C-alpha cells in the first residue's frame, strides 16, 4: 500500500503538481501519515498548526492525545534545507525528541536532543524521488509508523541509527590522522609492506629509512582542504601551503592538494599518485 502511494507521489512531484506548502501538507504529508496508520482525522493525535510559545508547527504527532511525540515542519517544494533552526526551537521548547523537516520530496529526520550542530543531529535524509521505493518504505515505517512511534520503537531505532552515523563520522575524521601518524612515527609494518611491494615489482628491496624518507617528502595528509582564498602573486617559495577550511578530507603531494571522499579514498589516491610520480613504486 505505502509503495503504491510513494510511486504516485513521485509521479506528482515530477509533474510539478505540488506547488506550495499547503499542497505538500495535504497531498504528501497527510497521505503518507494516513498510510502509516495515523488517524489523520483525529486532531488530538495528528494536530495541525500546533501552538508552541506563540509559534506554530505544521503538525504534531501525539501519543497520548495532546502530547507531541514528533514535530513535522513542512516547507514549499525545493526549500527543505531551510527552517532547521525554527524546527529545533519548536522541539526544544516542548521537549520533543524527534523532529522532521520536509518539502514533500526530501525528508530530514532529526533528534534535537542529541549533541552536535543541526546537521550532526540529522539521523537520515530521505529523498523519496531519488531513492529506491523499498528504501523509502523502510525508512518511513521505521521512523514514522504509528505503532512504532507510540511504542517508542521509532525513537529507539532513530537513536541507534544516530549512533551509527556519529560513529562513522568519527572514524572518517580519524582515519587520515591515523595514516599520517603511521608515516610520521615510521610504523615498521607499513614501511615493510611498501618495501616488499617495491621488491616484488623491481627485484630490489629498499631499506626502511629510504621508504620513510620518501613518504615524508611526498605525502602530507590532512583532514582539511586547500584554502579557498585566491593565492597571493608574491607568495614566497618557502611558505607552507594553507591547510584550508576544516572538514574537507584529502592529502597534499608534492605541493598539490588532492580532495578525497573519505579516508579509504585518501589511501587509494595516495598510492596511485605516488605511482604516477614514480612508475616503479607499485
The reply to whether omega before 64 is within 30° of 0 (cis) is yes
Cell numbers that stand for 150 in this block: 507510540
pTM of the shown model? 0.64
How far apart are alpha carbons 28 and 59 in whole angstroms?
13
- The string of DSSP letters for 84-131 reads HHHHHHHHHHHT-SEEEEESSSEEEEE-TTSSS-TGGGEEEEEETTTS
Q: Which residues contact 275 (CB under 8 A, 6 or more apart)?
A: 281, 282
pLDDT tens digits in sequence order for the chain, 282 residues long: 899 999 999 999 999 999 999 999 999 999 999 999 999 999 999 999 999 877 889 999 999 999 999 999 999 998 876 667 777 777 877 789 999 999 999 999 999 887 667 677 889 999 999 999 999 999 999 999 999 999 999 999 999 999 888 788 778 878 778 777 777 777 788 788 888 888 888 888 888 888 888 877 777 655 444 433 333 333 333 344 444 444 466 766 666 777 776 655 666 676 666 666 655 555
Element (H, E) at 251: strand 246-253
Residue 154's alpha-carbon distances to 27, 53, 148, 250, in angstroms, are 24, 26, 5, 36
How many angstroms separate the CA atoms of 90 and 73, rounded? 10
Domains, the chain: 2-151 (3.90.1570.30), 173-228+240-277 (no CATH)
What's the pLDDT score for residue 161?
92
Give pLDDT, residue 246: 43
- Structure confidence at residue 12 (pLDDT): 97
Amino acid at each position: 500500500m505505502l509503495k503504491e502511494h510513494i510511486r504516485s507521489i513521485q509521479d506528482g512531484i515530477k509533474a510539478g503538481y505540488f506547488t506550495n506548502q499547503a499542497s505538500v501538507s495535504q497531498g504528501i504529508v497527510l497521505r503518507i501519515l494516513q498510510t502509516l496508520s495515523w488517524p489523520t482525522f483525529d486532531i488530538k493525535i495528528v494536530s495541525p498548526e500546533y501552538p508552541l510559545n506563540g509559534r506554530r508547527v505544521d503538525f504534531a504527532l501525539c501519543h497520548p492525545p495532546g502530547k507531541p511525540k514528533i514535530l513535522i515542519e513542512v516547507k514549499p517544494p525545493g526549500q527543505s534545507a531551510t527552517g532547521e533552526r525554527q524546527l529545533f526551537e519548536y522541539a526544544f521548547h516542548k521537549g520533543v525528541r524527534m523532529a522532521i523537516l520536509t518539502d514533500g520530496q526530501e525528508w530530514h529526520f532529526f533528534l534535537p536532543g542529541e549533541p552536535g550542530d543541526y546537521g550532526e543531529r540529522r539521523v537520515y535524509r530521505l529523498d523519496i524521488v531519488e531513492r529506491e521505493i523499498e528504501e523509502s518504505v523502510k525508512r518511513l515505517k521505521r521512523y514514522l509508523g504509528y505503532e512504532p512511534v507510540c511504542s517508542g520503537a521509532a525513537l529507539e531505532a532513530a537513536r541507534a541509527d544516530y549512533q551509527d552515523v556519529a560513529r562513522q563520522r568519527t572514524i572518517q575524521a580519524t582515519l587520515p590522522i591515523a595514516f599520517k601518524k603511521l608515516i610520521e612515527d615510521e610504523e615498521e609494518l607499513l614501511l615493510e609492506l611498501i618495501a616488499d611491494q617495491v621488491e616484488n615489482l623491481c627485484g630490489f628491496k629498499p631499506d626502511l629509512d629510504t621508504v620513510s624518507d620518501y613518504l615524508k617528502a611526498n605525502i602530507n595528509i590532512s583532514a582539511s582542504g586547500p584554502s579557498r582564498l585566491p593565492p597571493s602573486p608574491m607568495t614566497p617559495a618557502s611558505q607552507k601551503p594553507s591547510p584550508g577550511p576544516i572538514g574537507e578530507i584529502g592529502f597534499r603531494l608534492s605541493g598539490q592538494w588532492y580532495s578525497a571522499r573519505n579516508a579509504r579514498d585518501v589511501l587509494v589516491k595516495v598510492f596511485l599518485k605516488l605511482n604516477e610520480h614514480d612508475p616503479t613504486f607499485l
